[in-house]
Chain A
Amino acid sequence: MSYVIGVDVGSTYTKAVILSPEKEGKKKWLDTP
């Protein structure tokens, strides 16, 4: 399955989000604390 990740390496915190493909209904996960 073709999932993608966006990673934001900020000066204070680093955050990531994974998205599923459109046909999977745009599921998303956050690396919340």
Chain B
Amino acid sequence: MYPDLQVPLPLSHHHYAAMALPPLPQPGLSPAPRAALALPIAEARLRSILMGV
């Protein structure tokens, strides 16, 4: 009744024409370093809360 599609949809011009695609991250290139955030609680616990029910 709701089969998965096997054929990709045509790309919509109004989506991609306006989107400047970011370059693919390369493993040899280090991303710009960002200072680690001080999280209010342990990261694993915070993430479990944010994904929780």
| A and B part of one assembly | no
Binding site for A on B (CB under 8 A): none
Binding site for B on A (CB under 8 A): none
